[in-house]
Amino acid sequence: MKTSINIIAVFALAFLAACSKGRPSKPADIDYYTCTMHPSVHAEAPGKCPICGMELVPVKKNTGGTATAQPPGNREFIVPTQRQQQIGVTYAKVERKPLEKEIRAVGTVEADLQKHWAFVARADGYVQQLFVASAGQIVGKDEPLLSIYSPELATTARELVMLAGMRDHARTPEARATPQRLITAAEARLQQWNVTPEQIAELEKTRTATDTITLRSPFRGVVQELPAHQGVNVKTGDHLADIADLSTVWVWADFYESELGALKTGQKVAVTSRSFPDATFDGAVAVVNPFVEPTKRTTRVRIDISNPDFKLRPGMYANVALSVASGEQLAIPVSAIMPTGQRNIAFVDKGNGKLEPREVKLGSQFGDSYAVESGLNEGERIVASANFLIDAEARVQGALADFSKH
């Protein structure tokens, strides 16, 4: 009986030994194996996830018995290269490069007020003839706009012709002095009535007095308003016509107060309009209004634009874009940053599938790049895409445990 009991014990020990040999031994520093997509899965041995079929990853344990990536102070974790390819990981280098920030705004085109002329009646009379048909008509420099009959003008013109004859027939300088003084006064009155120096010179040359005054455009421009009508009686001060020179226009754009530090007088600006989608107009910042609109928190900025073809017209909306150079700085792609509340994390490639989460202090954003103030070194290789999946791997392995506490 005793002999049979010993035989059974031997067979039991042999069976247990065989079972232990067939089961893969788990390393001492591994707590369990899990799936990055299904953290609820806990397995004692490597293999496939029973839910999605992905390879299980090891979760290490620390001295306190809690699963973590590795000992305190070392946050590296491993995502095998094959796994990185599966989830679409790409990399970028931390590099030093010149950065430019683009600021955009919307504005409205207005006429240059320094190249705008309003004609008003400077003497009582009647509109005798209109040489332009309507507002919107383009007129050249010195092109006639309208003529006005004025008795005062006729009297002064005849006086000028008479005085010019007296001066010419005077025999001594003393005799010519008095008519010349009166001629100068008559010329000044005519100029006040919008008679040009060229018209006065023609009057003195022909010695033919006229009882009408012809108003001429002082520059090439567009008739903006034409309230005058033929045959209408006009009084001194009545509005007759407006001429706008659109060879230079203004764009008034609204910029936020946070952008004012980047604006400087003379700064180059690119302006576009929906009316001419393939054209870009070059302008320059002329005036930065020092007053901030209290409700919108914006400031109006005047941009001067050369417009020789009169394409930009008052009242149009315009899109404004200007680039602000910030010099050469350490930069990374925006997609390389994983925000975790109050901190920004980048995953640094350490080689052979090892990744290290690194807290990064960022500067301003410049298009698709961030300026880096600290946390990364030039030349380091960082994850540039699939950060959320890498983040899931890191959290499963406990690599971001220190960051999640804050």
Same domain, 226 and 368: no
Domain termination site, one of 325, 360, 389: 325
**Range among 67-76, 158-167, 298-307, 375-384 rated most confident:** 298-307
Tell me, yes or no, whether 351 and 203 share the same domain. Answer: no
Is residue 52 a part of any domain in this protein? no
Confidence grade of residue 105 (pLDDT, cut at 50, 70, 90): very high
Residue 159 lies in a domain: yes
Question: Higher pLDDT residue, 174 or 362?
Answer: 362
Stated pTM of the model: 0.59
Q: Average the pLDDT over 147-176 and give the result.
A: 84
The rounded mean pLDDT for the chain is: 82
Do the domain assignments include residue 230?
yes
* 406 confidence band (pLDDT: 50, 70, 90): low
Per-residue burial over 83-96, b = 16 or more CB atoms within 10 Å of its CB, e = otherwise: bbeebebeebebee
Report if residue 384 sits inside a domain: yes
- Per-residue pLDDT, averaged over 195-205, amounts to 83
In a domain, 66, yes or no: no
Domain interval for residue 287 = 102-112+246-325
Residues 154-179 have a mean pLDDT of 83
Are 171 and 272 members of one domain? no
Q: Would you say residue 343 has pLDDT above 60? A: yes
Whether the per-residue pLDDT at 67 is higher than 70: the answer is: no
3-state secondary structure 324-372: EEEEEEEEEEHHHCEEECCEEEEEEEEECCEEEEEECEEEEEECCEEEE
CATH number at residue 275: 2.40.30.170
Interacting residues of 301 by C-beta distance below 8 A, sequence separation 6+: 105, 107, 252, 253, 254, 255, 263, 285, 287, 288, 289
> 367 with 291, same domain?
no
Q: Tell me, what's the pLDDT at 24?
A: 55
Last residue of a domain, one of 241, 261, 282: 241
pLDDT over 70 at 62, yes or no = no
Q: Which of 302, 325, 348 is the last residue of a domain?
A: 325
CATH code of 202's domain: 2.40.50.100
pLDDT band for 100, please (50, 70, 90 cuts): confident
Does residue 221 share a domain with residue 259? no
Confidence of residue 14 (pLDDT cuts 50, 70, 90): very low
CA angle centred on 306, ends 140 and 283, rounded to 5°? 165
Does residue 70 have a pLDDT over 80?
no
Counting the structural domains of the chain, the total is 3
Give the phi and the psi of residue 389 in degrees, each rounded to 5: -70, -40
Q: Please indicate, yes or no, if residue 30 is contained in any of the structural domains.
A: no
